[in-house]
Structure 1
Amino acid sequence: MGKQTTEMLKGVLEGIVLAIISVRPAYGYEITARLREHGFADIAEGTVYALLVRVERRGLVDVEKVPSQKGPPRKVYALNDSGRAQLDEFWEAWSFLAERLEQLRGEGQHDG
């Protein structure tokens, strides 16, 4: 992944993670695995865990500790009403930006 892609991804990763959790609750490693399934292979687990701490502190997710057969209980993250509102706002912003970027791309292709 190039530097520009990495920088852009930093700005939208929270929305992507909230979208993943909105499908069904998940724990950190599972979220990272789902990101990889969707083609975000270069995202480090540590990045995802730091982001989960932030969204938990901001009250966007509910956290349930679930017993694990391999060590300490896992924290399972579920989107709550605040998180859903944040995700809706993210998709609105994404649509706004995507439409304008496509317009600019189209203008550039016609003028060249």
Structure 2
Amino acid sequence: MDTSQLLKGVLDVAVLAVLREADGYGYEIVRRLRAAGFDEVGDASVYGTLRRLYNSGALTTYVVPSEEGPNRKYYSVNGTGIDLLNRSAKTWREFTAAMSDLIDHGSKEAT
């Protein structure tokens, strides 16, 4: 199964979950997602997700000077982002439970 389409649907939640653990800058967040098993996550997808979450008010940013090049923009999840993560996690758990039940036991209606 091609997981890239599944990843698109859950990338917001994955990014929020990573940032809940610790603030991070773009490429660091990509690395953390890949380390968590999201091997196919693309840099551009993560940067787009960060922009969208920031624009929606779920993230804040701050700049940290870097000794290795330009300053780095760090992202931090705020209260709005935590609320979004909690709601999305609940939806995800309900969806995956229903999908697992369907796969394991089939439709509950007689056909």
Same fold (TM over 0.5): yes
Instruction: Tell me which of 19, 37, 40 is aligned to 2:38.
Output: 40
SS at structure 2 position matched to 1:96: helix
2:59 touches 2:78 (CA, 8 Å); kept in 1?
yes
Structure 2: which 5+ residue stretches go unaligned? 107-111
Structure 1: which 5+ residue stretches go unaligned? none
2:58 touches 2:77 (CA, 8 Å); kept in 1?
yes
C-alpha separation in 1, matches of 2:35 and 2:74: 19
Residue 83 of structure 1 corresponds to 81
Could you tell me how far 1:83 is from its partner in structure 2? 0.2
Q: Which amino acid aligns with 1:38?
A: A
Aligned length: 106
Structure 1 vs Structure 2: percent identity of aligned residues? 36
Q: Kindly report the root-mean-square deviation, in angstroms, between the aligned alpha carbons of the 2 structures.
A: 1.0
Divergent runs of 4+, >4 A: none
C-alpha separation in 2, matches of 1:41 and 1:9: 10
Which structure has the highest helix share of the two?
Answer: 1
Q: Which amino acid aligns with 2:94?
A: F
